[in-house]
Amino acid sequence: MQDIKCPHCGKAFKIDETGYADILKQVRDGEFEQQLHERLELAEQDKRNAVELATTQVAAELKMAAATKDAEIQNLLARLDAKELAQKLAVAQALSTVEKERDGLANELAQARHDRQSASKLAEATLMNELQKAAAAKDAEIQGLRARLDAVALSQQLAISEAVGPVVKERDELKNGLERAALEKQLAEKSLKDRYETQIKDRDDAIERLRDMKARLSTKMVGETLEQHCETEFNRIRATAFPKAYFEKDNDARSGSKGDYIFRDLDAAGTEIVSIMFEMKNESDRTATKNRNEDFLKELDKDRTEKGCEYAVLVSLLEPESELYNTGIIDVFHRYPKMYVVRPQFFLPIITLLRNAALNSLKYKSELALVKAQNIDITKFETELDSFKTAFARNYDLASGHFQKAIAEIDKSIDHLQKTKDALLGTDRNLRLANDKAQDVTIKKLTRGNPTMAAKFAELKDRGPGLPE
């Protein structure tokens, strides 16, 4: 047994090894869940730092590559502009030369028309050839520049793809890892919840079994009155236990009152062994006010005397919370002679006890009659009778004490199982709250108040769709 002290009320109580191991396991499970949560948070922070560092490096490399490419493009554009200007000057010079030659040929036209025409055609052909060559050279240079520009753009796109690819891949791996961790956590929580629900169900079943046991010790009546229950119980064993007994309702009200049942048992010779006046009182019989057992004792004693019964027994369900009457068979000899108050489960045992005691008394009475017939002193008989009464009272006290102890142990078991159930329900509520908090965590909430991280995740989201919110 272990001593456990409540941290709230300071009350100490004992718990067996099994209960202590269960509580210790619950505490360890809670510490394990907390450590797992802290490690997941550290892993998440490391992943975010790695993503941020990779993003920063990639962004810096992309900026450097873009600056280099922009400078190269500007240089190429400057060279292209210079060549275009030189080509224009060459064309202008060529045109000036052609115009001079055209003027000379015009002056010579008068001299030789044929020569002029031939020279003019030759000059035009030469000029066209030169112009075509210059235009072809210019087009070729432009195509080369365009090809170089396309190659630069393609290489830049490939560099960006190569730089972003590992980051996207790492991002997808991190996302898959988070999803896998969340799934594993969900499965673990479901398994833990199922295990706790099974334990709670087992505790509930045990509590229900104990309650049923206590209910059977209290009463077996279902939908029937207390009188019908007692009559049914007696008739069930009449043929075997009381074959010559009389147990009928008391219908004689000539004196103004009557009991519920009268029990009389006879021996083989027809001599009365014992007689009992029974009164049955159920709480449901009088719902207007709550009566006490003591309210009916005087009338019961009167009925016993008028009907010539030796004993009187009140079978009662009144005062259900009374620890006194719930212990079993209670004698009220201090108020009325030979009177008992019992719960319904002791209806048959009280008949058996009184009948057996009467049989012993009957034997002593027979012996007393024989002794009197033989003029023998009855002092010894009275002593033995007193010894019998003392032994009977002692046995009764022992039986009553054992029964009370059994009832107390059952109540303790029910209370212990109920506390265990409450503790398991409290653990389930804490797990549900922890799961709700974990499900509520998002990147948006984690980056709230941190503009740098928010900007990085926004940039990653723009470059690579599929990042978690």
Write out 244-312 in H/E/C secondary structure: CCEEEECCCCCCCCCCCEEEEEECCCCCEEEEEEEEEECHHHCCCCCCCHHHHHHHHHHHHHHCCCCEE
Write b or e for each residue in 84-98: b if 16 or more Cβ atoms lie within 10 A of its Cβ, otherwise e. Answer: eeeeeeeeeeeeeeb
What is the predicted pLDDT for the residue at 342? 95
Question: Residue 219's pLDDT band (boundaries 50, 70, 90)?
Answer: very low
Q: Which long-range contacts (CB under 8 A, 24 or more apart) does 383-392 make?
A: 385/361, 388/360, 388/361, 388/364, 392/357
- Most trustworthy range by pLDDT among 104-113, 245-254, 306-315, 421-430: 306-315
CB atoms within 10 A of CB 467: 18
**19-22: long-range contacts (C-beta < 8 A, 24 or more apart)?**
19/416, 19/420, 22/420
Vertex 178 angle, CA 177 and 181, to 5°: 85
Q: What pLDDT score does 131 carry? A: 67
Structure tokens at 408: 């107390």
Q: Cα(200)–Cα(421) distance, rounded to whole angstroms?
A: 6
Apex 276 CA angle, 270 and 281, nearest 5 = 150
User: Is 355 in a helix, a strand, or coil?
Assistant: helix
Residue 7 has a pLDDT of 64
| Per-residue pLDDT tens digits for 400-418 | 777 778 777 777 878 877 8
Rg (CA), the chain: 56
- Distance, CA of 287 to CA of 264 (rounded, Å): 32
Q: What percent of the chain has pLDDT over 90?
A: 16
CB atoms within 10 A of CB 159: 15
**What DSSP character marks residue 9?**
T
Mean pLDDT of 259-269: 89
For residues 431 and 28, give the distance between their C-alpha atoms in angstroms, rounded to a whole number: 14
Residue 104 has pLDDT above 60, yes or no: yes
Looking at residue 373, what is its pLDDT? 64
- Highest mean pLDDT pick, 61-75, 244-258, 366-380: 244-258
Q: How far apart are CA 188 and CA 211, in angstroms?
A: 34
Q: If you count DSSP H runs as helices and E runs as strands, how many of each does the chain have, helices first?
A: 8, 8
Q: What share of the chain is helix, strand, coil (3-state, %, to 5)?
A: 75, 10, 20
What's the distance, CA 144 to chain centroid? 73
Distances (CA, A) of 280 to 212, 215, 315, 370, 405: 23, 19, 5, 40, 26
Answer yes or no: is pLDDT of 62 > 70. Answer: yes
Distance between CA atoms of residues 247 and 356, nearest Å:
17
Which has more pLDDT, 139 or 331? 331
The helix (H) or strand (E) run that includes residue 315 is strand 311-316
pLDDT reported for residue 300: 94
For residues 316 and 325, the answer to whether their CB atoms sit within 8 Å is yes
Q: Which pLDDT belongs to residue 58?
A: 72
pLDDT-derived band at 221, boundaries 50, 70, 90? very low
Q: Is the pLDDT of residue 399 over 70?
A: yes
455, pLDDT greater than 50: yes
The stretch 176-201 carries a mean pLDDT of 79
* pTM of this structure: 0.35
Q: Are 188 and 409 in contact (CB under 8 A)?
A: no
Report which of 356, 380, 251, 351 is spatially closest to residue 307, judged by C-alpha positions.
Answer: 251
pLDDT per residue as tens digits for the range 10-23: 667 676 777 667 77
Q: Is the pLDDT of residue 458 over 70?
A: yes
Of 191-205, 247-261, 267-281, the one with minimum mean pLDDT is 191-205
Share of the chain above pLDDT 70, in %: 72
Q: Which residues lie closer than 8 Å to 302 by C-beta, 6 or more apart?
A: 257
Where are the domains positioned within the chain? 162-223, 226-360
- pLDDT over threshold 90, residue 348: yes
| C-alpha distance from residue 38 to each of 33, 45, 338 (Å) | 9, 11, 74
* Residue 4 β-bridge partners: 13
- C-alpha closest to that of 55 among 468, 466, 455, 324: 455
Q: What are the tens digits of pLDDT across the range 274-333?
A: 999 999 998 754 455 678 899 999 999 999 999 999 999 999 988 888 889 988 899 999
Structure-model confidence comparison of residues 443 and 184, the more confident one: 184
